[in-house]
Structure 1
Amino acid sequence: SVDVSLNNRQLDRFVFTFGHCVEAVRGWVRQRILAALPEKKYVGVLVALVIGDQRAVDQNDWLIFNRTGVGHLISISGLHITMIAGLFAAIMSALWRRSFFIGNTLPLRLPAQKAAVLAGAAAALLYVLLAGFGLPAQRTLYMLLMVALAIWTGRIASVSHILCIALMVVLLRDPWAVLSPGFWLSFGAVGTILYASVGRTKQLIDASALVPNTPARVWLDPIKNGAYTQYVVTIGLVPMTILLFGQISLISPLANAIAIPLIGLLVTPMALMGSMLPAPLSGWVLTLAHILVDWLATVLTWLSSFPLAVWQAPLPPAWTFAIAMAATLWLLAPRGWPLRWLALIGWLPLLLHSATRPAEGEMTVTAFDVGQGMALLIETSGHRLLYDTGPYYSPESDAGSRIIVPYLKARGITAIDTMVISHSDSDHSGGAMSVIKAIEVDRVYSSLSPDHRIVAVSPGHTRCQDGQSWNWDGVQFDMLFPAKHNYENNERKDRKSGKANTMSCTLKITNGDLSILLPGDIEKAQERQLIQDKGAIATDSVMTPNAPGRLKSTVLLVPHHGSGTSSTSAFLQEVNPSVAIFQMGYRNRFRHPQAQVLERYQQLGIRNVRNDQSGAILLHFGSTLDVTEYRQQHKRYWYGR
């Protein structure tokens, strides 16, 4: 064979295009900030404020920012862009009007107002390019450009028309923007402010205007206007925030009252100056900005620790959201609108909407689409069990934090009665720490070693073992594997030669005539042991009196994701399922399911349902078994056939 790598050569390190130049500048600014503040905890926040790159912000910090409702400030927001544009416009206006000091009469050639808006629009464009052209930045830029265009053409522009034009431009440029929460929050916030303020925040005849300004009024009026704007945004975005995130921050008004002036007036300008100034001035300015962020984070951490800092609710159905939006418009209506306070009643269905549960005598099983891993949520009328927690992706991401916890919170689920970690492989236990940290878990069953880090933080940890059983709301739970002697044999083996798969907790759940078997990643030897100990075709000499037929199940979670090491013909004939669930990632590197294994299921007439094709899978165990596939219920053209 020919080594083609010998012919490889680097054509060029940098391809000169406008977009590449912008990204190169952003990268240069990012490296300057990181170099000036090595090993500083909140350097990622300063990077986000300057260039909109939020990758370096720690996930724990995001949790605090979101709980206190200041997450919108930890990026380049519309407020920051408008502030920078206004600053440059004011500087240009002042210099243009004073051009006679240098012997020029520039205002006679071009009005100072037009020069100022041109400078402000140019500054906004450069800042938005530096920010990475995010949705809130785009919206602000287009609105500022429309204002500049109106002034240059001598047109009188309505602010509502400007917002609508910005909306049109954003959608024409990227129709997919409607799938982003930032799109709805950005335009929703501005639209709410306009609805509640434009044309009716001042009286037609203001008696106070006849009285000369006092120092108290100079400071009090902006504070009153800012407080009213914050009130309008907080109230106006409650329904949308619940719809998008399933929670609202009750401490947000106080947190924003502290964070907005600190971030907007001090930290952001200092971070921008520090990123451009020469050393050592840049380091001094950035260090001071970091001290302010550190102080703010301390205050926000204290505020977020309050038990009632956040109100959580399930994602609402359409009718409750519509009623809440109508109530919000009523509440923010002009003064004189009758009985505005009664609008709060319209929020009650939204805020008091509770998590759904199966009916008495029924059970649901949700097989999450976690990629190459395993995670299922089992729900009865009064209890919930999580079987495995999906894979570990990176130090900042796992299936627990990215999929399971958001799903539970979207459903309004704040507690789980039992969590079963079948074994230690990262595609089964990778999200456990995130789930335990975010959701209240009463008890954990696992086959993990006593010194495992998950065991150390697990509340009420119990080693899973054959013979354990319990009943929830008429639904029977039976642990079938591993047995006591399996643990003893595993302890005698060399740890390097042992496989975690062979110790997978195997759980059978029975609801009336229907049942599901969850075998984890057991392999052929463990399947043979289960057949011998629990199977109906076992010989009398090795079969316990109550064992026959205990493996037979309506649904089988395919062992080891459809690997060739599992799913023997004898095991499938013993279980005899009508439905098999394959949990694995799309085009996974292990090539699960193996072709011969898939053919084995098909030859036995077992219906195959796969997460890589169906997305999340919901099984409803009632009088009959109902199987619902997410991608069938929520069809999108990019799913293909």
Structure 2
Amino acid sequence: MRSNLIAFAVGVGLLQVQPALPELPPLAGALAAALLLLAIFRRQPLVRRGLLIGTCALFGFSWAALRADWRLHDDLPGEWEGRDVQVVGVVAALPHGFERGERFEFDVEAVLTPHARLPRRVNLSWYHGWREDEWRNGLVIRPGERWRFTLRLKRPHGNANPHGFDYEAWLFERSLRATGYVRPHADAQRVDDFVWRPGYAIERLRELIRRSFFAVLPDAPYVGVLVALAIGDQQAIPAEQWRLFRQTGVTHLMSISGLHVTMVAALFAALAGYLWRRSERALLWLPAPKLSILAGWLAAGGYSLLAGFAVPAQRTFYMLSVVALALWSSRNLGASRSLLLAMLFVLVLDPWAVLAAGFWLSFAAVGLLFLVGTARLGAVHGWRDSLAHWGTTQWAVSIGTLPLMLLLFQQFSLVSPAANALAIPLVSFVITPLALLFAVFPWPLLLHVDHWLLAVLMDCLSWLAGWPLWEQPAPPLSATLLALVGVVWLLMPRGFPARWLALCLLLPAIFTRAERPEPGAAWVDVLDVGQGLAVVVRTARHALLYDTGPLYSAESDAGQRIVVPYLRATGIERIDTLLVTHRDKDHSGGLVAVQEAVPITRTLSSVGEITGERCVAGQGWTWDGVRFSILHPSTSDYERPNAKTNNMSCVLRIESADYSVLLTSDIEARDEQALLARSAAQLRSDVLLVPHHGSGTSSTPDFVAAVGAREAIIPVGYRNRFQHPRPQVLERYADSRLWRSDRDGAVLIRPGRELALSAYRSEYRRYWHAR
């Protein structure tokens, strides 16, 4: 049974790495053939067992393909992107506020615009600016409300970068098949205050609980954490607190995890059993142990739904369901079988759960606990045994999840065991129960006490965060798999042969070295940051960052979301030169995040407020046989009063042994002419970063001809409001091969016998990605 369950999970996972969905009729034929072979070889046990495992894998693959096909057909037709559509629908989930408005999921019930076709569920933003008075006077979007909106939508699209977050996969898993916004100055009308459906009722309850928390602690620094522990809503936790949790390795505790669900189930089971035993008539009707099982199962289900039913809560609830069913029927399924059955339930209902890091971390952690617990049988007596058992558990989870943490996040907290030893009992058995108790009985004193306890814990975590954090490049998948084998070997019970050799299997993953170009060569990576720019340049022993990407909102920028994770994953521990080309926020928006995360040796910029040196034409340096030259702006440009920020863009030319690249930022026609007059001979390059995202004010024919690039890269956002790149500009690059970040994702330039460029979207194509 175990091998069959694992085979089904492997089949589901295999489907999620396909670049395109397979045709369903051939899959159905393959399943029919597999079942026929099972019938033919039913009297040959070994052959039948192998066929059964293969059939289970094929069934998992086919089931995931069928679900994906259904979801892909619920899409937004291309001809309806960017067009006004009037709809009636229901706010389907808890809205989340951001700097300028509200973001929420919306179930489309009726499309009022003739001939328009929309997905059943979309992700919307409603910006406050145009109706500021109404928002100030108490206009609130609440779950379960029916509204009539005029929308403008687009297909799901996210930034595509190596080691980056796949936003399109996140949307696809949640069946959000379009994103968009409520149109300003159009009629928006609340039709019904509440539409009854179980899902909407749960979301409305979550919203009421969240509101009660913020009513009692409106300005408390850690109220967002308490809300997350009570209802699973993490939106109010600031980025600084998430950074603290990552540095101490307690991120898993600051949302509703399996431990919390299990604790609630155990608490309700014990309480219900205690009360049930007080009545003889009740005991004659149903034994107390079975009543405890039922009460614990119902409590776990209710808490999981209140938490938004994320993967850790799902995994725990399904596993508790399997255990509860076994106990109810007086059967013992065993720890591993219970865990695998829980995995089966998760993947049947949500085949895309394997795309979430939490799926792997949560199942790995519970599996390791089962491995350690079953390998060390015997009762626990006294505080010494309890302390030893607790230490063993911490060691197992810490060392066991190390390979996955390095693969997924490229960092590991060295103080994680100590931080978790302190935080797990306090959060799970004191802070979370008090938060839940307040949700049921909203007595303000409960929440004030709870927040005080959390503040004490946060002070302790802040002290621990000062200790080192292990960071390294992302290890190869092969090294990670080898390390996982080593973890299982290492955690085997005492007496298992040569356990110390398991440490050798962990070494390739822990001591992964970053790849670097050979001397004389340069690697240039134009990251996909949307409508903005960030370019990473590496030589044999140095690194340069050319711009830091856009500022998305007050809480988010490309520096923290894209640039810093990319630097960490590729092993760049120090930036030798940071070049911020000009003031515009689409180029300098991630500056602060980069400065806080990575040591910077030298900063060049045309922005006076940034500490560092001016970038001036004529500057240059050589790293590892690669020549870097600043071509613009000139000294006289700094003396011009009221110069446009675009005209002050720093232009950089990179010349290696194999090719040359010209990085132009946002220069316009005037600057191009100045470059032609001042340094025309230096402009010729193999690769050109197209000026100003392909705007109509740049890329003059003379400039394009002088550069003569074989390859032209346009950093541009998907369906951006500036309509970049302009069609007339694209025509000027007819002799170049064009690359676009909105279509190709990150563009990576590598040396070789022939100049080699690659597009990340082509290398990492998945069936849910926009074509």
Give the TM-score of the pair, scaled to structure 2.
0.75
Question: Partner residue of 1:83?
Answer: 263
Letter matched to residue 459 of structure 2: T
Q: From 716, 740, 744, give the equivalent of 1:584.
A: 716
Measure the CA separation in 2 of the matches of 1:372 and 1:414. 26
Q: 1:626 and 2:771 equivalent?
A: no
| Range 506-515 or range 469-478, more displaced | 506-515
Measure the CA separation in 2 of the matches of 1:435 and 1:68. 21
Question: Partner residue of 1:71?
Answer: 251
Q: How does 1:308-323 map to 2 (within 5 A)?
A: 308=468, 310-323=469-482
Measure the CA separation in 2 of the matches of 1:110 and 1:512. 82
Letter matched to residue 436 of structure 2: L
Identity of aligned residues (%): 48
Question: Partner residue of 2:387?
Answer: 223
Q: From 597, 605, 620, give the equivalent of 1:469.
A: 620
Shift of 1:314: 1.2
Distance change in 2, residues 1:527/1:636 (3 Å): same
Q: 1:92 and 2:272 equivalent?
A: yes
Shift of 1:148: 1.8
State the secondary structure of the residue aligned to 1:639.
Answer: coil
Q: 1:202 and 2:377 equivalent?
A: yes
State the secondary structure of the residue aligned to 2:621.
Answer: strand
| Range 510-519 or range 183-192, more displaced | 510-519
Shift of 1:621: 3.0
Q: How does 1:450-489 map to 2 (within 5 A)?
A: 452=609, 455=610, 458=611, 461-489=612-640
Question: Partner residue of 2:678?
Answer: 533
Indicate if the aligned counterparts of 2:530 and 2:717 stay in contact, CA closer than 8 A. Answer: yes
Letter matched to residue 260 of structure 1: I
Any runs of at least 4 consecutive aligned residues in structure 1 with deviations exceeding 4 A, and if so which? 3-9
Measure the CA separation in 2 of the matches of 1:148 and 1:59. 39
Question: Partner residue of 1:156?
Answer: 332
| Range 224-233 or range 62-71, more displaced | 224-233
State the secondary structure of the residue aligned to 2:192.
Answer: coil
Shift of 1:9: 4.3
Q: How does 1:152-301 map to 2 (within 5 A)?
A: 152-198=328-374, 200-203=375-378, 217-278=381-442, 282-301=443-462
Q: What CA deviation, in whole Å up to 9, does each residue of 1:268-324 have, x standing for no partner?
A: 11111123324xxx2211111111111111111111112x2x211211112222221
Q: How does 1:122-141 map to 2 (within 5 A)?
A: 122-141=298-317
Q: Unaligned regions of 5+ residues in structure 2, if any?
A: 1-85, 87-149, 151-184
Indicate if the aligned counterparts of 1:52 and 1:131 stay in contact, CA closer than 8 A. Answer: yes
Question: Partner residue of 1:556?
Answer: 688
Measure the CA separation in 2 of the matches of 1:65 and 1:513. 44
Measure the CA separation in 1 of the matches of 2:190 and 2:234. 31
Indicate if the aligned counterparts of 2:547 and 2:581 stay in contact, CA closer than 8 A. Answer: yes
Shift of 1:639: 3.1
Q: Which structure would you say has the larger Rg?
A: 1
Indicate if the aligned counterparts of 2:256 and 2:313 stay in contact, CA closer than 8 A. Answer: yes
Question: Partner residue of 1:398?
Answer: 557
Q: What CA deviation, in whole Å up to 9, does each residue of 1:145-194 have, x standing for no partner?
A: 11222222333322211111110111111111111000000001111111
Q: 1:29 and 2:174 equivalent?
A: no
Question: Partner residue of 2:598?
Answer: 439
Question: Partner residue of 2:234?
Answer: 54
Letter matched to residue 40 of structure 1: A
State the secondary structure of the residue aligned to 1:444.
Answer: strand
Measure the CA separation in 1 of the matches of 2:186 and 2:320. 53
Question: Partner residue of 1:357?
Answer: 516
Q: From 375, 380, 390, give the equivalent of 2:534.
A: 375
State the secondary structure of the residue aligned to 2:190.
Answer: coil
State the secondary structure of the residue aligned to 1:386.
Answer: strand
Measure the CA separation in 1 of the matches of 2:516 and 2:465. 29
Question: Partner residue of 1:337?
Answer: 496
Question: Partner residue of 1:543?
Answer: none
Shift of 1:622: 4.2
| Range 313-322 or range 591-600, more displaced | 313-322
Indicate if the aligned counterparts of 1:275 and 1:286 stay in contact, CA closer than 8 A. Answer: no
State the secondary structure of the residue aligned to 1:325.
Answer: helix
Question: Partner residue of 2:725?
Answer: 593
State the secondary structure of the residue aligned to 1:15.
Answer: coil
Measure the CA separation in 2 of the matches of 1:528 and 1:416. 32
Q: From 485, 497, 500, give the equivalent of 2:645.
A: 500
Q: 1:304 and 2:468 equivalent?
A: no
Measure the CA separation in 2 of the matches of 1:481 and 1:39. 48
Give the TM-score of the pair, scaled to structure 1.
0.89
Shift of 1:611: 0.8
Measure the CA separation in 2 of the matches of 1:248 and 1:113. 42
Letter matched to residue 251 of structure 2: G
Measure the CA separation in 2 of the matches of 1:352 and 1:149. 45
Letter matched to residue 246 of structure 1: Q
Instruction: Figure out how many residues of one structure are paired with residues of the other and give that number.
Output: 589
| Range 323-332 or range 574-583, more displaced | 323-332
State the secondary structure of the residue aligned to 1:466.
Answer: coil
Indicate if the aligned counterparts of 1:417 and 1:442 stay in contact, CA closer than 8 A. Answer: yes
Measure the CA separation in 1 of the matches of 2:465 and 2:477. 30
Measure the CA separation in 1 of the matches of 2:474 and 2:665. 31
Distance change in 2, residues 1:560/1:342 (3 Å): same
Question: Partner residue of 1:573?
Answer: 705
Indicate if the aligned counterparts of 1:564 and 1:597 stay in contact, CA closer than 8 A. Answer: yes
Q: From 25, 40, 45, give the equivalent of 2:220.
A: 40
Distance change in 2, residues 1:640/1:295 (3 Å): closer
Letter matched to residue 376 of structure 1: V
Shift of 1:519: 1.1
Q: CA RMSD in A?
A: 1.7
Letter matched to residue 164 of structure 1: L
Measure the CA separation in 2 of the matches of 1:176 and 1:520. 39
Indicate if the aligned counterparts of 1:246 and 1:412 stay in contact, CA closer than 8 A. Answer: no
Q: What CA deviation, in whole Å up to 9, does each residue of 1:406-454 have, x standing for no partner?
A: 11111222111001111010100011110111111111111102xx3xx
Distance change in 2, residues 1:640/1:287 (3 Å): closer
State the secondary structure of the residue aligned to 2:661.
Answer: strand
Letter matched to residue 227 of structure 1: G
Indicate if the aligned counterparts of 1:372 and 1:585 stay in contact, CA closer than 8 A. Answer: yes
Measure the CA separation in 1 of the matches of 2:228 and 2:409. 22
State the secondary structure of the residue aligned to 1:397.
Answer: coil
State the secondary structure of the residue aligned to 2:314.
Answer: helix
Indicate if the aligned counterparts of 1:414 and 1:440 stay in contact, CA closer than 8 A. Answer: yes
Q: From 407, 410, 422, give the equivalent of 2:566.
A: 407
Measure the CA separation in 2 of the matches of 1:409 and 1:6. 45
Letter matched to residue 284 of structure 1: L
State the secondary structure of the residue aligned to 1:393.
Answer: coil
Measure the CA separation in 2 of the matches of 1:6 and 1:442. 51
Indicate if the aligned counterparts of 2:521 and 2:658 stay in contact, CA closer than 8 A. Answer: no
State the secondary structure of the residue aligned to 1:581.
Answer: strand
Indicate if the aligned counterparts of 1:470 and 1:477 stay in contact, CA closer than 8 A. Answer: yes
Measure the CA separation in 2 of the matches of 1:321 and 1:411. 16
